[in-house]
Amino acid sequence: MNRGLRHLALKTRDLGRTERFYTDVLGLRQAFPHPGMLFLETPGGEDLLNFVETRRKFDPAAGGLDHFGLHVPRGRWKQICARVKRARVKVRGRRGRTAMYIEDPNGYTVELYCD
């Protein structure tokens, strides 16, 4: 099977908080355990988000990353929107009625969309 992007590695200073955000709020699942890292399956694909724990201070904007997008199946869109609202996650922007930009606990911008 040909694959494009398999994973995106991002730094985090709080692996537990990051895991709770992506699993409890956005509904992603852990792909497999790995010490000091978190590998999450993305919805509707075989790509992974990889968070690497670090004690060093970092600026998420300094790495050139603007945002990453997570496609949400249309049947789960309202459920994800409700979870984001219940978690009091600030919506930083919208693109029509089927996309929103939120900030994760590390300061990364995440686009959630269903097209």
Compute the distance between CA of residue 88 and CA of residue 3 in angstroms, rounded to an integer.
Answer: 35
pTM, entire model: 0.73
pLDDT for residue 5: 54
Q: Could you tell me if residue 2 is inside a domain? A: no
Q: 82 lies in a domain?
A: yes
Q: Is residue 60 part of a domain?
A: no
Domain of residue 38: give its range. Answer: 7-55+66-113
User: pLDDT for 83-108, tens place per residue?
Assistant: 999 999 999 999 889 999 999 998 88
Domain total in the chain: 1
Tens digit of each residue's pLDDT (9 = 90 or more) over 38-57: 999 988 777 888 888 888 77
Q: What is the dihedral of CA 47, 49, 50, 54, to 10 degrees?
A: 160
Specify whether the CB–CB gap between 32 and 41 falls below 8 A.
no
Positive or negative: CA dihedral 83, 109, 40, 56 = negative
CATH code for the domain of 16: 3.10.180.10
Tokens standing for 61? Answer: 């904007």
Exposed/middle/buried for residue 108 (C-beta within 10 Å: 0-12, 13-18, 19+):
buried
- What percent of the chain is predicted at pLDDT more than 70? 91
